[in-house]
Amino acid sequence: MRSQSSFKVLSLCLLAILASTHAQLQLGFYAKSCPKAEQIILNFVHEHIHNAPSLAAALIRMHFHDCFVRGCDGSVLLNSTTNQAEKNAPPNLTVRGFDFIDRIKSLVEAECPGVVSCADILTLAARDSIVATGGPFWKVPTGRRDGVISNLVEARDSIPAPNHNFTTLQTLFANQGLDLKDLVLLSGAHTIGVSHCSSLSNRLFNFTGKGDQDPSLDSEYAANLKRFKCKNINDNTTKIEMDPGSRNTFDLGYYRQVIKRRGLFESDAALLTNSVTKSQVTQLLEGSLENFYAEFATSMEEMGRIKVKTGTEGEIRKHCALVNS
């Protein structure tokens, strides 16, 4: 009996600890400590995003890459004097929007010094920019703290890449507590934005090292890409729409491309190589845009909670690119 009672007490203690950890991430976390914070971020996004709507795709990508390395802790924003930070890793060399986040941070710091984390600013700005350009809304509970470690190797090994197959994608998502449905839904962010020819040059020109083309890519689409966009394997600068014709519209167009075998990346094509993810793509296309928005929102909320630092963990950076001295 005594051991049973001890077990119950221990279980209750563990539940209390878990509850307190999650309680620190909450909607309106800054309501008392910096009540204008979220409005300052929203106002800045609204003021500038329409001059550069492509930043919406850039910011949600930055948020995604941040969360997949040490959790959503703003570590992707950190600089390194030896070029060994996350932003120096191959997956992050084309990430942009750092200055946008820095400018928001300076405004928030002027209002409430040392209160609002860069991790929360990035998370909110990513959401607000998607909404401001006509995309879905999702809830962003706040209270994240900023990490103090940013490592190139961890970013290289943790962030899903355009050339990853299904097994690798499944593993990398599972490592973050995300499932196959999250993989399909978060891939849906490819409905906006652009990529570079370097991300699919091997698919077009040298898939198995023999000067061949990826057979899983629609041949007519591949021919058009080679003729009008990526004309040789060494093209690292030409940009290509991930969802041709609606790169600034958050819609179901990406999934239409995928099902026609016209997803740009091997990672897009990989969604058709598994019966579960293929079925989910089909179901999304059979459903409404509102349904996609609702499901996408759920996955974004889940991603935004990955391994967050709360309470006394980490710090509140004064400058997003630098740890506090």
Q: 46, 48, 50, 65: which is the annotated catalytic residue?
A: 65
From 10-24, 26-40, 195-209, 221-235, the region with the lowest mean pLDDT: 10-24
Q: What is the pLDDT of residue 19?
A: 42
The pairing of strands 239-241 and 194-196 is antiparallel
Q: Could you list the residues known to form a binding site for Ca(2+), using ranges.
A: 66, 69, 71, 73, 75, 86, 191, 243, 251
Across 124-133, average pLDDT:
98
Q: What percentage of the chain has pLDDT greater than the value 90? A: 91
Q: What is the pLDDT of residue 145?
A: 98
Q: What is the pLDDT of residue 151?
A: 98
Q: What is the pLDDT of residue 245?
A: 86
Q: Which residue has the higher pLDDT, 22 or 28?
A: 28
List Cβ neighbours of 292 (8 Å cut-off, separation of 6 or more). Answer: 136, 185, 188, 252, 284
Across 115-129, average pLDDT:
98
Q: Which two tokens stand for residue 311?
A: 């309470």
Q: Could you list the residues known to form a binding site, using ranges.
A: 66, 69, 71, 73, 75, 86, 160, 190-191, 243, 251
Across 102-106, average pLDDT:
98
Across 17-28, average pLDDT:
64
Residue 65 bears catalytic tag = yes
Q: What is the pLDDT of residue 1?
A: 47
Q: Which residue has the higher pLDDT, 119 or 246?
A: 119
Across 117-123, average pLDDT:
98
Q: What is the pLDDT of residue 295?
A: 98
Computed over every residue of the chain, the mean pLDDT equals: 93
Q: Give CA–CA dist 307/275, Å, rounded.
A: 29
3-state secondary structure of 12: helix
Please tell me what DSSP assigns to residue 146.
B
Across 155-171, average pLDDT:
97
Q: What is the pLDDT of residue 20?
A: 41
Q: What percentage of the chain has pLDDT greater than the value 70? A: 93
Q: Could you list the residues known to form a binding site for substrate, using ranges.
A: 160
Q: Could you list the residues known to form a binding site for heme b, using ranges.
A: 190
pLDDT tens profile 302-320: 999 999 999 999 999 999 9
Catalogue the long-range contacts made by 166-169 (C-beta closer than 8 Å, 24 or more residues apart): 166/270, 166/271, 166/273, 166/274, 166/277, 169/267, 169/270
Q: What is the pLDDT of residue 2?
A: 46
pLDDT band at 155 (very low <50, low <70, confident <90, very high): very high
Q: Which residue has the higher pLDDT, 17 or 64?
A: 64
Which candidate, 306, 304, 277, 302, places its Cα nearest to that of 70?
Answer: 306
pLDDT band at 293 (very low <50, low <70, confident <90, very high): very high
Largest CA distance in the chain: 77
pTM of the model: 0.91
